[in-house]
Chain A
Amino acid sequence: MKQEEFFSSRWALIIATIGIAVGTGNIWRFSRIVAQNGGGSFLIPWAIFLLIWSVPLIIAEFALGKSARFGPIGAIAKTAGRNFGWMGAFIVFVSTAIMFYYSVVTGWCLKYFLSALSGSLFDAADNLKYWENFSSGYQPLIYHFISMAFVAVVVYRGITKGIEKVTKFMVPALLIILVILFVRAVTLPNAIEGIKYFFTPKLDVILDYKVWLNALTQNAWDTGAGWGLILTYAVYMRKKEDISLNAALIGFGNNSVSLLAGITIFSTVFSLSSVDAMTQVSQSGPANTGLTFIFLPLLFSKMSSSYLINVFFASIFFIALFFAAVTSLISMVELATRTFIDFGLRRRRAIIIVAAAGFLFGIPSALNLDFLTNQDWVWGVGLILSGAFISFSIIKYGADKFRTEIINGYGSDVKIGKWYNFVIGILIPIQVIVLILWWLVSSVGWDPEWWNPFHIENAGTAIFQWALILVLFISFNRLMVRYTLNNRKED
């Protein structure tokens, strides 16, 4: 690889990877899940899972990418063996399937930023109607196209000139905006009620297994651990770059942003909501959009008596959301692009294929919220399998060998101890098994026709789509692995 194919410094790598981890889920999903799971009762297991799930898997992804210098297919094939390249392909597909609808969501954020800036968001008499008019028309398609095209140009420009340049601007800007919003929110009258709810644990639910499992899934999805995205950026790490300290910074940095956003949302909602605040925070709304696109615009309009100040805060909130979405979308597009580069394509050709496919396969989600909800459900849960495959490849390679030779190898600032063997070899597989079993058992209860693959959110549709993809990738495993490992070309 040429020199420009590496991140220029440790900070550039960390900022870009924070950009992956901090997404829209930190802002809207986190607050909703906290509200649904008893406030402080949820935060305790959520913080624990940062230590026993997210950080160990981020370390694993960094180490796999840095040592293999391939995307997930090549990295898994080199670590676990050529027979398991299909696992890497599944990881790629899950993140790419998420990319298809995430570009649509990125477009929503852009649209709401422009609406807030122009004031048309506050001119709307009914926020629900405003959202329904927007989401049921053709506009999401246009914003989806703009988002995908913008990100494609960034990824086309490569690591230092594209991804690094954009994330170096967007990630700090996002953090500054969040701090401004945080300060405004906690100084609103009655904001302390929101903070009280956010941190006070409900002792009757703290041992509820659902709270713990929701905490695990939220932390996993929040940090991007197990998505294959961090693995892809790690391909561009310099050889002398550290793994474990950087991984800890990403995990803790991401969760810090979630806490910041959570306190901001709860303070704002409890201060300005005239109706039951908790109902508003915890309700999902169509495609989980209730809080962000329907309720928050209403709250921003009440933030002060000055129209201009309200427009300012609403605008910076939605631009922050857009930055969070774009920096995550960039990594998803880069993951798919990297896979084609590993197959032997040049970056220019790979990005054209990925962007065109991303736009086309995102169209159903842009035009139909039910389709988007289905894809979010199927591939969101599929991430558990992605995490399991990463863990499996390290167990197959030998956890202790992986730790001593790769994680603690050349460039490491901090050496990690034998505890890592236990976490990656035993604790994470146990968490995967428990999580999948819980999910299967509870999803049977949610839908009497749990087996029906044509329902929007049930076990049947997820298992059907996973099986389809797995059968396809297992069938083409030999071909994919051969193309990846034997056809390396200079990018």
Chain B
Amino acid sequence: MEISGVITLIAVTGLVWGGLAFFLSRAVKYEKIKKANGEK
């Protein structure tokens, strides 16, 4: 695989899948906080 392909692979999957994992973890965190505060 050419170096440009490797860079694109890392950049695109990193942004899209990394972004999803980041926002998902934030959402889980805020839901946990709400649950701890007694919100349904």
- Please report A residues at the B interface, Cβ cutoff 8 Å: 10, 14, 40, 43-44, 47, 50, 192, 195-196, 199-201, 203, 240, 242, 245-246, 248-249, 252-253, 255-256, 259, 413-414
A203 cross-chain contacts in B, Cβ below 8 A: 4
- B17 with A259: CB separation less than 8 A: yes
* Minimum C-beta distance from B39 to chain A (A): 7
User: Chain B contacts of A43 at CB under 8 A?
Assistant: 8, 12
Cβ < 8 Å to A, chain B residues 1-15: 1-2, 4-6, 8-9, 11-13, 15
Provide the bound-state CA to CA distance between A259 and B19, in Å.
Answer: 13
Top 6 A-B residue pairs of the complex, sorted by shortest distance between their CB atoms: A200-B5, A40-B8, A252-B20, A413-B30, A199-B9, A252-B19
With A199-B8, A201-B4, A201-B8 known as contacts, the answer to whether A245 contacts B27 (CB < 8 A) is yes
Chain A: minimal CB distance from B35 (Å): 11
Q: Which residues of B lie under 8 Å from residue A259 when comparing CB positions? A: 12-13, 16-17
B12 contacts A10, CB within 8 Å? no
Nearest residue, chain B, Cβ from A202:
B4
Contact A199 B12 (CB under 8 A): yes
Task: From B1, B15, B17, B23, give the contact of A192 (CB < 8 A).
Answer: B1
B16 touches A50 (CB 8 A): yes
Check if B19 sits within 8 Å of A245, measured CB to CB. no
Interface mask (B15-40 → A, CB under 8 Å = 1, otherwise 0): 11101100110110011000000010
Which chain B residues lie closer than 8 Å to A249 at the CB level? 20, 23-24, 27
| Separation of A236 and B30 alpha carbons in the complex (Å) | 20
Q: Which residue of A lies closest to B10 (CB)?
A: A199
Task: Pick 7 A–B contacts, CB within 8 A, sort by A.
Answer: A14-B27, A40-B8, A195-B9, A199-B9, A201-B4, A201-B8, A242-B27
Neighbouring A residues of B17 by C-beta, 8 Å: 256, 259
| Supplied contacts A43-B12, A44-B11, A201-B5, 20 more A-B pairs, CB within 8 Å | A10-B31, A14-B27, A40-B5, A40-B12, A43-B8, A44-B8, A44-B12, A47-B16, A50-B16, A196-B2, A199-B9, A201-B8, A203-B4, A245-B26, A248-B19, A252-B23, A256-B17, A256-B20, A259-B16, A413-B27
B30's nearest neighbour on chain A, judged by CB, is: A413
Does A200 lie within 8 Å of B20, measured CB to CB? no
**CB closest chain-A residue, reference B16:** A255
Contact A242 B8 (CB under 8 A): no
Chain B residue contacts of A256, Cβ below 8 A: 16-17, 20
Do B8 and A414 touch across chains, with their CB atoms under 8 A apart?
A: no
Shortest A1–chain B CB gap in Å is: 18
**Shortest distance from the beta carbon of B11 to any chain A beta carbon, whole Å:** 7
CB closest residue in chain A, given B1: A196
